[in-house]
């Protein structure tokens, strides 16, 4: 089964400084790729204790206007989401207003801070300290809270798409948040959406490529039979490579996602050369079997030599420290070998079965 994955750390060999540096950041500094959870509160979210409400209602001064925001309901939501995210093995450091609360509780002899204490503490904090420790995680003006976290990219079990789906699902089902009450954003989401878009567009592009090449073959040969004979080996090679990527559990990334289209574009030359030679020889021999033998001894050798040269050229990429380049070299080379083999084995059989000259 084909899968899409975008793991920057796995793009490099484990011996490289880039891999080792990123792994060190994962292990010692709490992860690399950032992800953000934005909690959105409604203006009607006033679910707090009765004492808290009495306290806030009794104060009309501007000093406590913003402090009213720190109700039990909002704070508990932040704390619950924060703790849930910390429980996931794929997630490293998590920072939110709960981190500030934990610091405040340590200063308060490990006693829990209630809405009253938070309101007083917030109102007494200097503006520069508020901007440093509160504003990054709470937007009172927009009635939102921000939870910032980093993903451990070196986790071997990490699947970014599945992780995002799991977080989305658990926030709704386990923490009872509605879809409009939170938003998942950040670099991880951008990378994932980019790769998913590439995957979707590549599937569409592959279909357009197949259709475009088939139309060009129709124009070139002016024969439906010859166009089918030329197209089948190359399209089969492209599908074989996609299947091989899924079989060997190689994820589609920025480079491997283009292999199928490149294969069809390059390998179609072999079919055209073979068919042109076959048509010229058939005019002389008028015998399918004999013409196939002649083509194998002549243009067949040229196809083999040209294909092996291309394979050798792509095989140089195996020496790279960039893993996608290695996969690209291996599977593109394999695709060219497959296309060459099918052109010299499957295509002659198709010619013998379909008999294009007989069928026009």
Cβ–Cβ under 8 Å, residues 342 and 239: no
Query: What does the pLDDT read at residue 46?
Result: 47
pLDDT over threshold 60, residue 315: yes
Give the best-scoring range by mean pLDDT among 3-7, 56-60, 62-66, 189-193: 189-193
Confidence class of residue 20 from pLDDT cuts 50, 70 and 90?
A: very high
Measure the CA–CA gap between 321 and 38, rounded to whole angstroms: 38
pTM comes to 0.76
Q: What sign does the dihedral 99-104-110-115 (CA atoms) show?
A: negative
Query: What does the pLDDT read at residue 59?
Result: 46
Cβ–Cβ under 8 Å, residues 251 and 281: no
Average pLDDT over residues 298-303: 94
pLDDT over threshold 70, residue 61: no
* Token output for 197: 């878009």
Query: What does the pLDDT read at residue 55?
Result: 46
Query: What does the pLDDT read at residue 63?
Result: 45
- Which residues are CB-neighbours of 30 under 8 A, at least 6 positions away? 92, 93, 150
Confidence class of residue 62 from pLDDT cuts 50, 70 and 90?
A: very low
- Which domains occur in the chain, in start order? 31-185 (no CATH), 196-354 (1.20.1640.10)
pLDDT over threshold 80, residue 227: yes
Q: Kindly give the residue spans of alpha helices, DSSP state H, lying in 43-184.
A: 50-57, 72-86, 97-107, 115-124, 127-133, 160-173
Query: What does the pLDDT read at residue 13?
Result: 85
- Which residues are CB-neighbours of 320 under 8 A, at least 6 positions away? 326, 329
**What is the longest distance spanned by two Cα atoms in the chain?**
105
pLDDT over threshold 80, residue 167: yes
- H or E element, residue 323: helix 323-354
Measure the CA–CA gap between 289 and 270, rounded to whole angstroms: 19
pLDDT over threshold 90, residue 170: yes
Query: What does the pLDDT read at residue 67?
Result: 65
* Token output for 28: 């010692």
Query: What does the pLDDT read at residue 301?
Result: 94
Task: Tell me the pLDDT of the chain averaged across its residues.
Answer: 87
Least confident of 149-163, 203-217, 232-246, 322-336: 203-217
pLDDT over threshold 50, residue 293: yes
pLDDT over threshold 70, residue 58: no
State percent of the chain over pLDDT 90.
Answer: 54
- Going from the C-alpha of 280 to that of each of 52, 149, 178, 289, 291, the distances in angstroms are 93, 67, 70, 14, 9
Helices 187-221 and 259-285 pack at an angle, to 10 degrees, of 10
Query: What does the pLDDT read at residue 357?
Result: 79
- H or E element, residue 111: none
Query: What does the pLDDT read at residue 173?
Result: 95
Q: Which residues of 281-306 are buried (b: 16+ CB within 10 A; e: fewer)?
A: bbeeeeebeebbebbbeebbeebbeb
Give the best-scoring range by mean pLDDT among 5-19, 82-96, 129-143, 240-254: 82-96
pLDDT over threshold 60, residue 360: no
Query: What does the pLDDT read at residue 51?
Result: 47
Query: What does the pLDDT read at residue 112?
Result: 83
């Amino acid at each position: 089964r084909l899968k899409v994955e975008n793991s920057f750390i796995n793009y490099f060999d484990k011996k490289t400084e880039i891999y080792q540096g990123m792994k060190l950041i994962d292990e010692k500094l709490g992860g690399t790729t950032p992800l953000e959870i934005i909690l959105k509160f409604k203006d009607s979210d006033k679910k707090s204790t009765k004492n808290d409400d009495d306290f806030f209602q009794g104060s009309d001064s501007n000093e406590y206007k913003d402090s009213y925001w720190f109700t039990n309901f909002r704070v508990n939501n932040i704390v619950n989401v924060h703790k849930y995210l910390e429980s996931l093995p794929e997630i490293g450091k998590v920072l939110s207003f709960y981190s500030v609360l934990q610091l405040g509780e340590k200063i308060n002899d490990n006693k829990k801070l209630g809405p009253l204490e938070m309101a007083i503490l917030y109102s007494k904090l200097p503006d520069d300290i508020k901007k440093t420790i509160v504003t990054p995680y709470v937007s009172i003006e927009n009635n939102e809270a921000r939870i910032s976290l980093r993903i451990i990219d070196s986790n071997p079990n990490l699947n970014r798409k599945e992780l995002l789906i799991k977080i989305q699902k658990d926030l709704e089902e386990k923490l009872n948040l509605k879809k409009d009450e939170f938003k998942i954003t950040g670099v991880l989401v951008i990378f994932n959406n980019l790769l998913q878009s590439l995957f979707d567009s590549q599937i569409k592009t592959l279909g357009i490529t197949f259709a475009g090449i088939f139309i060009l073959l129709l124009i070139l040969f002016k024969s439906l039979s010859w166009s089918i004979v030329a197209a089948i080996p190359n399209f089969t090679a492209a599908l074989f490579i996609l299947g091989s990527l899924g079989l060997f559990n190689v994820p589609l990334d920025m480079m491997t996602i283009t292999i199928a289209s490149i294969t069809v574009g390059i390998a179609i030359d072999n079919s055209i050369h073979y068919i042109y030679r076959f048509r010229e020889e058939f005019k002389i021999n008028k015998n399918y079997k004999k013409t196939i033998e002649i083509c194998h001894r002549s243009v067949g050798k040229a196809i083999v030599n040209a294909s092996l040269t291309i394979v050798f050229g792509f095989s140089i990429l195996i020496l790279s420290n960039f893993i996608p380049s290695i996969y690209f070299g291996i599977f593109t080379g394999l695709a060219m070998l497959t296309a060459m083999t099918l052109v010299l084995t499957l295509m002659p059989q198709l010619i013998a079965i379909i008999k294009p000259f007989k069928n026009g």
